[in-house]
């Protein structure tokens, strides 16, 4: 019998994640899975729970958004347990990349079918991310968004329009696999393990989560028209083909700056790091998905 534990934040989405976990558990029990639910109590609790429970359960399921997925997946590095995802967040970037349905019942069917894929577990200065991480305007927005009342795409777009005109691009240096490749002023510097931020906005369209490679996308400071075109290209999956966009692929990427620290984003959540920023792939875990493209 497969042993499954669902980890959910009980206050996420006014209780939506907890309800999704209960619905998922009900379906899995119909398929004769041995199921339990664990509710988180504080930030970082999901990591502690998943690490502890990996000795008892075969499948550890994150019920929530990319932040919850990050916490649960982080706890599974170095274990033999498999990550499952019931997407219940505002972006759901990794779940979308893996073609996991946004519907709880259909996502649960993926767990029943158990198609296991290798998932790279990259780090930024020692902290794990599984979807995207980076600095620049998108990171600035993640910090602004975190302070807003309410979540969702509508508020995210509102933050973008409010901050776009005043954001100042900065100068960075980049080393790829220990070789210096570029110094330039950049508006966005995103490292993709998966292809999209979430909500089908593809910042690194060629990224694959199992290839032990990171995909870097650099957007130079745009004017209003170029920025609007990039916004469209994100959803057309072809931003990497825009003339002024630079892309690089490697196992280790280092970003330097004359500044000491920077506000970044890691799987959609705001974070702060000291320079130099070192993004690298060392580990893998197992994840239940449908596809890696």
Task: Specify the fold of 3-114.
Answer: Rossmann fold (3.40.50)
CA 127 vs CA 77, 141, 196, 278: distances in Å: 12, 20, 19, 10
Check residue 230 and give left, alpha or beta (phi > 0: left; psi -120 to 50: alpha): alpha
Percent of all residues in the chain with a pLDDT value above 90, rounded to a whole number: 79
Q: Which pLDDT tens digit goes with each residue over 15-61?
A: 799 999 999 999 999 999 999 999 999 999 999 999 999 999 999 99
Q: Is 212 exposed, middle or buried (0-12, 13-18, 19+ CB in 10 A)?
A: middle
CA dist., res. 179 & res. 182, Å (int)? 9
CA dist., res. 206 & res. 258, Å (int)? 31
DSSP summary character for residue 241: G
Query: 128 versus 290: which is more confidently predicted?
Result: 128
Q: What is the pTM of this model?
A: 0.93
How confident is residue 164, by pLDDT bands cut at 50, 70 and 90? confident
CA dist., res. 194 & res. 209, Å (int)? 5
Task: Specify the fold of 127-281.
Answer: Tumour Suppressor Smad4 (2.60.200)
Contact 259, 56 (CB under 8 A): no
183 has pLDDT over 90: yes
Q: Where are the domains of the chain?
A: 3-114, 127-281
Q: Is the peptide bond before 276 cis (omega within 30 degrees of 0)?
A: yes
Average pLDDT over residues 66-70: 94
Using DSSP bridges, classify how beta strands 59-64 and 82-87 pair: parallel, antiparallel or unpaired. parallel
């Amino acid at each position: 019998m497969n042993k499954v534990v669902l980890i959910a934040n009980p206050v996420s989405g006014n209780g939506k994640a907890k309800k999704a976990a209960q619905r998922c558990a009900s379906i899995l029990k119909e398929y004769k899975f041995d199921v339990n639910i664990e509710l988180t109590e504080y930030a970082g609790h999901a990591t502690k729970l998943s690490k502890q429970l990996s000795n008892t359960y075969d499948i550890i399921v994150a019920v929530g958004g990319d932040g919850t997925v990050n916490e649960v997946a982080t706890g599974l590095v170095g274990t033999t347990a498999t990550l499952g995802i019931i997407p219940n967040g505002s972006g759901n970037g990794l779940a979308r990349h893996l073609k996991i349905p946004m519907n709880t019942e259909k996502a649960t069917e993926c767990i029943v079918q158990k198609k296991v894929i290798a998932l790279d577990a990259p780090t930024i200065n020692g902290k794990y991310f599984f979807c995207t991480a980076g600095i620049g305007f998108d990171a600035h927005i993640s910090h602004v968004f975190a302070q807003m009342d309410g979540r969702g795409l509508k508020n995210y777009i509102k933050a973008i329009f409010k901050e776009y005109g005043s954001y100042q691009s900065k100068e960075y240096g980049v080393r790829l696999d220990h070789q210096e490749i570029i110094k330039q002023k950049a508006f966005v510097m995103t490292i993709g393990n998966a292809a999209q931020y979430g909500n089908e906005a593809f910042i690194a369209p060629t990224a694959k989560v199992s290839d032990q490679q990171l995909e870097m996308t650099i957007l130079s400071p745009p004017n209003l028209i170029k920025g609007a075109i990039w916004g469209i290209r994100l959803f057309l999956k072809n931003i990497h083909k825009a003339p002024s966009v630079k892309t690089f692929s490697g196992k280790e990427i280092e970003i330097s700056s004359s500044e000491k620290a920077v506000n970044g984003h890691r799987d959609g959540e705001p974070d702060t790091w000291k320079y130099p920023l070192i993004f690298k792939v060392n580990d893998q875990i197992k994840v239940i998905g449908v596809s890696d493209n």
